[in-house]
Structure 1
Amino acid sequence: MQKKTLGNILTNLKIDALNEMQEASLKANKEHKDVILLSATGSGKTLAFLLPVLERLDPANKKTQALIVVPSRELALQIEKVFRQMGTGYKVTACYGGHLRETEENNLIEAPAVIVGTPGRLGDHIRRENIKTDGIETLVLDEFDKTLELGFQEEVSFVVESLPHIKKHILTSATEAVEIPSFLELQEPAKLDFLPEDGITAPRLEIKQVLSPENDKVETLFRLICHLGNRSTIVFCNHRESVERTGKMLSEKGILNTFYHGAMEQRDRDVALTKFRNGTVNVLVTTDLAARGLDIPHIRYIIHFQLPHTEDSWTHRNGRTARMEASGTAIVMLAPDEKLMPYLSEEQVDTITLPEKAVLPEKPKWVTLFIGAGKKDKVNKIDIVGFLSKKGELKKDDIGLIEVKDFFSFAAVVRSKMSYTLELIKNEKIKNKKVKIDIAR
């Protein structure tokens, strides 16, 4: 890759330089047909495979040239976002379950150079011939350990067998936990292992424990969150029912939070993640679904409200914090009848003593506004900023993170001005169209 091109990409991504792992990936992909990259979550794997993919794209070729297979819709959206931010000029689109197939079909009419998606949805589009596979020469399996778990194997196999002209495979993972299936037909792959030697944790991650006096740990969780204050925190549970129960009980005690799990409608998941990402709530209660692929920077605390079933799950949960150069803390909550997981020793783990009196954290600065128009209505971030400034009488500092989806958008508005602004804008038009505007629930 030319230095000028790479320099432009790094500038667009607001990155000063590639890290050692990314440099090694670029070099290995130039020298080898197939590459397996093992590196901790949050270390920058996405760029480590997107740069080699970009090197292989031909601007004169109007067919789809690269396919990236991922285990979750959130990871697909994150990769799509990073590729767009790189500013390459190539078209990219994401395909995943829960997304309107008609929207994806329209996006695929003019073949994107790069398609990223989940195995089931990619297989569906290939069967319907929405994705033309004859020009695809590069195949990436990101987080292949999860993608190849039971249940995905058959669809991944179908997708791979539908690609007759693959010249390069790139596989990435944050664990070395799975055998690579024979249907991938890798040829003497170069293996880059950047996993931490002990395999447990990144050096910037502190591990602590909190001892609950009762088996029902919600009261202790409430006191812990009050003690940690208004910091970005993910609370992991093992089951969807536990997620909803825990989130509801925290709300009843006055802790603003949102919950997130796989049985929710896509729009509800979008709202939950947006509110957490933009600081409307600082506590996200979730299952292991959120342990991979969520592109949310600056998460300070990971709370294992229910203990992870496996060391692999522990690793991926903790990978949401201490990302890149930031530090973070993983906190294990233990009931009287629970013990630390066998891969952790008491010498590794400090105990947090909670104060007797719990003081509720201040409410977050932001509230999320729902706007019933998006990309398909030709509405973008600039339109929304202009609308909120002119019609809603907001200053630049009063508007936070804006996210524009296909058919709706979200904007963070400073809490102190939300009521006044909502009164001003609720009957106004955006781009001459009357749309629903309300606080996101």
Structure 2
Amino acid sequence: MAETTFSIENTLSNLQIDELNEMQKASLEANKTSNGVVLLANTGSGKTLAFLLPVTQLLEKNRPVTQALIIVPSRELALQIEQVFKKMGTGLKITCCYGGHKRETEENNLLQAPALIVGTPGRLADHIRRGNITTTHIETLVLDEFDKSLEEGFDEEMSFIISSLPALKKRILTSATEAVEVPEFVGLQEPVKINYLTGEQSPALAVQMVKSDDRDKAETLFRLICYLGNRSTIIFCNQREFVEQVNTFLKDKGIVSVFYHGAMEQRDREVALSKFRNGSSNVLVTTDLAARGLDIPNIRYIVHYQLPTSQESFTHRNGRTARMEASGTAILILAPHEYLPEYITPEPATIELPADAELPQKPGWTTFFIGAGKKDKVNKVDIVGFFTNKGQLKKEDIGLIEVKDFFSFVAIRKSKASHTLHTIKDEKIKNKKIKIDIAK
């Protein structure tokens, strides 16, 4: 076998992980002997690494061709996988392909064939049709959360993509639900099934409920957030219009919150998630779009403002908290006309909210938008250097930095934000005048 690029020990060291969990070990073993593996495991259990490790062991260092393809149902999941792969430190190129931003950016990234491509079905099929992706050497295919891709109606695109892979040998499918039948077009024959689905929530997850006197529950939600304090909280609604209504209501009440749903422009999504990730806002109001693929550490509370439409939805929403070793709490708000779904047993403890609501402490960070990113050869070190030198900030006044292709976000301590903005207004990054402002 040709030389691969890394040892598992080095990868774990790069990821700052002491050892693999049982499911990841089982995946590695199964993939050594089988070309068809179905991996079933709960959300938040480390599935991404469970398929990336065996895939990366098959990638050959000195072959300048695309050797593996990962198909995912959402851009967020694609970006998360790309992030994990880069942290693994293999030195191999990965390219992420998804709708909602310029195709030309991806076309440039595909000119030199990446060893690994991850993307959503529609955009990948488009690139294949246009001849931007050379499929002749792709031997490994991963369908991550394939149940969700089928549910979203991507059958046609997935069938086209798989039929365009003449050299395909290995197929790895992952899902957080067991009930889905694998379509014939996947070409899976006598797969090894690894089932780590417990059917239970993480033992670190507590489930509670709040009974609301109001039919629309908005006032109860506000009082609940005041009660929980300024901890990282995701509020789930079932429809986009509710997301925006709830977010506006909370803002009017003095809560710092952001919202996120599928109809937003890509950049607006990025701004919202960045503010939530870096602590500029502790409250994210969203649809089930955020129930998968968003890997944001240390989310303390999941609030089901509108009840989940199914047990699966309940499980996926709750999978955003109590991930790996952390603990978390899921809270259902029940209006007078609503009943606890029968799949939630035993009955959760009821939270009694105090009569007086006291606004939680405001977040201590502000997010700055920087109009330059990776494609402008700007990195995190440049940004830290700029804000410490030109902005006269100490390192502890600079929080999480995220560098995208054409722009970046940086969290700045709120007490220093307006002074910093004034100090840097005529300064340059890498000898270029770049737009820097507070992210809207």
- The equivalent residue for 1:256 is 256
In structure 2, list runs of 5 or more residues that go unmatched.
none
The verdict on how the C-alpha distance between 1:226 and 1:96 changes in structure 2, with shifts beyond 3 A counting, is: same
C-alpha distance in 2, partners of 1:119/1:427?
A: 44
Q: SS at 1:312's partner residue? A: helix
The CA deviation at 1:436 is 1.1
The CA deviation at 1:348 is 3.5
Identity %: 68
2:416 maps to 1:417: yes
C-alpha distance in 2, partners of 1:164/1:287?
A: 38
Q: SS at 2:235's partner residue? A: strand
**Contact 2:6 2:90 (C-alpha < 8 Å) held by counterparts:** no
- The equivalent residue for 1:58 is 60
The verdict on how the C-alpha distance between 1:289 and 1:14 changes in structure 2, with shifts beyond 3 A counting, is: same
- The equivalent residue for 1:139 is 141
- Aligned match of 2:51 in 39, 42, 49? 49
- The equivalent residue for 2:9 is 7
Mapping 1:36-435, distance limit 5 Å: 36-196=38-198, 199-345=199-345, 347-435=346-434
C-alpha distance in 1, partners of 2:214/2:241?
A: 20
The CA deviation at 1:99 is 2.1
Q: Deviations over 1:357-410 (max 9, x none)?
A: 111111111110001111111111100000000000000100000001111110
C-alpha distance in 2, partners of 1:427/1:231?
A: 36
The CA deviation at 1:54 is 0.6
Q: SS at 2:352's partner residue? A: coil
The one-letter code of the counterpart of 1:399 is I
C-alpha distance in 2, partners of 1:18/1:200?
A: 21
Query: How does the TM-score come out when normalised to structure 1?
Result: 0.98
**Contact 2:251 2:257 (C-alpha < 8 Å) held by counterparts:** yes
The CA deviation at 1:427 is 1.9
In structure 1, list runs of 5 or more residues that go unmatched.
none
Q: Deviations over 1:111-131 (max 9, x none)?
A: 000000000000000000100
The CA deviation at 1:21 is 0.5
Q: Deviations over 1:134-179 (max 9, x none)?
A: 0100000001110122521111111111111111000011111311
Q: SS at 2:157's partner residue? A: helix
Q: SS at 1:332's partner residue? A: strand
C-alpha distance in 1, partners of 2:207/2:362?
A: 27
C-alpha distance in 2, partners of 1:185/1:257?
A: 45
The CA deviation at 1:3 is 12
The CA deviation at 1:4 is 7.5
Query: How does the TM-score come out when normalised to structure 2?
Result: 0.98
Q: SS at 1:413's partner residue? A: strand
C-alpha RMSD over aligned residues: 1.2
**Contact 2:369 2:438 (C-alpha < 8 Å) held by counterparts:** yes
C-alpha distance in 1, partners of 2:51/2:254?
A: 43
C-alpha distance in 1, partners of 2:180/2:51?
A: 20
The one-letter code of the counterpart of 1:389 is T
- The equivalent residue for 1:35 is 37
**Contact 2:5 2:91 (C-alpha < 8 Å) held by counterparts:** no
Equivalent pairs counted in the alignment come to 438
The one-letter code of the counterpart of 1:290 is A
The one-letter code of the counterpart of 2:322 is A
The CA deviation at 1:8 is 1.1
Q: SS at 2:7's partner residue? A: helix
The CA deviation at 1:344 is 1.3
Q: Deviations over 1:214-266 (max 9, x none)?
A: 10111000000000001100000000000000000000000000000000000
